[in-house]
Amino acid sequence: MTAETSTSTAPADRVDLRDVCIVHGRGSSAVVAVEGVDLTVRPREIVSIVGHSGCGKSTLLRALAGLLPHASVQGNLSILGRSPEQARKSGLLSMVFQDPVLAPWRTVEGNIRLPLQVARGRERKPSKTISEQLEVVGLGGYEKRYPKQLSGGQRQRVSLARALMMEPQVLLMDEPFGALDEITRDEMHTELLRIWGTTDASVVVVTHSIPEAVFLSDRIVVMAAHPGRIADVVEVDFPRPRGNDLKDTPEFARIAHRIRTALEENR
């Protein structure tokens, strides 16, 4: 449990969760999905949330994104000093989902432009063009392709480019590489870290891959289920930049083991 002294005003530079509970439904059919979560994500930090299926990790991420009904979220949930809804309206948040969720009728370029095109009240001009953003994710020259013409990994890169185009302060990722094969996933890990190095975003990644969590994160939040709660928080202090070789070191294995143990103890 992160034991930090609670401040009366939410800090404006970080994501701050205080005693967050999430309840679905009401009355006798109500389900407590998340119970008493305290968590802080510092600026430019990568935090992973791991846990068994149904532990409420995705629900917690969706609460951060302001995608849950207002009534179901209790406690204090602040994103850079604002509520999730305000943060969304100010364009501070982007999200990458497990599936690339691209619009098949739009080209790669059209897909990346879509959120910019529909964002109400957005005045900030993106500092990169779409082509430059595609270069960043390693898809230079793919502007006119359709999603159907891309591989799974390439589609997820487009999805990442679309999220980055919004230049979010907080990037939320819901099992972003879960649908990819092992080789592509390793490649995407180093890519994500490289790209993250060029931004000033904090990242919250929900994953059920322990190596993925250890490799990417500054801190790993281990969640337990029924009701969803934080069981353990593990600091990962490998220096950055990190390369895939890291995954073969004993230190990496030790942290992975600790996470695995925490998960098993909290079935």
Partner 1 sequence: MTANVSTPVHKQVKAVIPPESRAGLLLKTFRSARAWIVLALAVAIWEAAVRILDTPKYVLPAPSAMIVEFQENYSLFLNGLWATTRMSLYGLAAAIVIGVALGIAMGRSALFEELAFPFLNIIRVMPTIAIAPLLIIWFGRGGVPIVICSCLIAVFPIIVDVAHGLTSVDEDLVNMMKLANASELSILTQIRIPNSLPYLFSSFRVAAPGAVVGALLGEYIGSREGLGYLITVYSAQLNTAAVFVLALLSCLVGLVFFNVCVWLEKIVVPWKTVVR
- Contacting residues toward partner 1, per CB under 8 A: 62, 65-67, 88-89, 91, 93-95, 97-99, 101, 103-105, 114-122, 141, 146-149, 151, 162, 166
For residue 115, the minimal CB distance to partner 1 (Å) is 3
Residue keyed to tokens 């009401």 = 26
For residue 145, the minimal CB distance to partner 1 (Å) is 8
Residues near 182 by beta carbon (within 8 Å), at least 6 away in sequence: none
Dihedral angle, C-alpha 11, 15, 21, 24, nearest 10 °: 130
Q: Which is nearer to partner 1, 55 or 93 (CB)?
A: 93
For residue 213, the minimal CB distance to partner 1 (Å) is 22
Q: Which is nearer to partner 1, 70 or 148 (CB)?
A: 148
For residue 119, the minimal CB distance to partner 1 (Å) is 5
3-state secondary structure 85-109: HHHHHCCCEEEECCCCCCCCCCCHH
Under a CB-based contact definition with an 8 Å cutoff, are residues 174 and 96 in contact?
A: yes
Picking from 80, 81, 41, the residue whose alpha carbon sits closest to that of residue 205 is: 41
| Tokens standing for residue 194 | 């490289």
Q: Which is nearer to partner 1, 187 or 238 (CB)?
A: 187
Q: Which is nearer to partner 1, 119 or 233 (CB)?
A: 119
For residue 214, the minimal CB distance to partner 1 (Å) is 26
Task: Provide the greatest CA pair distance for the chain.
Answer: 55
Q: Which is nearer to partner 1, 11 or 115 (CB)?
A: 115
